[in-house]
Amino acid sequence: MVAIGVSLFALICLVSTYDYSRGRVPQTESALVSEVLAATTARECGRDATEIVSRHLPAGIEQAEAERILATIAIVPPRPWFWTPSTETATTWTGDTLEALRTIKTTAFGTNLLRIHLTFGDGKLRRLAAEVICRFG
């Protein structure tokens, strides 16, 4: 009877871990995040997302508008019972270059982040680069 109980508990833990390792599709109101998630899988670390991001942040867009769009990039992380999701929102300026790091997916084993580099000149977006990166642990 004890062996059956332990086996059942192990099976439930295995199914739960597998389910959360795949990650839930996060809830978001950002069309940018939805589009990036639709184009990537959890195992695509280092994937170039410049083409997708450039549709939402086209060259020549005003700096204030670009910053407003970056501010809307957010997810509502899942609420599992056995791990605490972490989300990261960071923005760093270096001269005319802005680097934004936003969580787009979180699982029990790691986080997928969207890293966006924007270079401005005369108050308008001149260059853009974006990639999906993964952090484990």
The CATH number assigned to the domain holding 92 equals 3.30.160
CA distance 23 to 66: 29
Question: Is the CB of residue 120 less than 8 Å from the CB of residue 90?
Answer: no
In this prediction, residue 129 carries a pLDDT of 95
Q: Convert the pLDDT of each residue in 111-136 to its tens digit.
A: 889 999 999 999 999 999 999 998 88
Tally of domains within the chain: 1
In this prediction, residue 43 carries a pLDDT of 59
What are phi and psi for residue 4, nearest 5 degrees?
A: -65, -40
> Is 110 or 22 the better-scoring residue by pLDDT?
110
Question: What is the residue range of 109's domain?
Answer: 2-136
Q: How confident is the model at residue 19 (pLDDT cuts 50, 70, 90)?
A: low
CA distance 103 to 115: 9
Q: What is the mean pLDDT of residues 76-88?
A: 76
Of 2-6, 15-19, 35-39, 107-111, the one with minimum mean pLDDT is 15-19
The reported pTM is 0.78
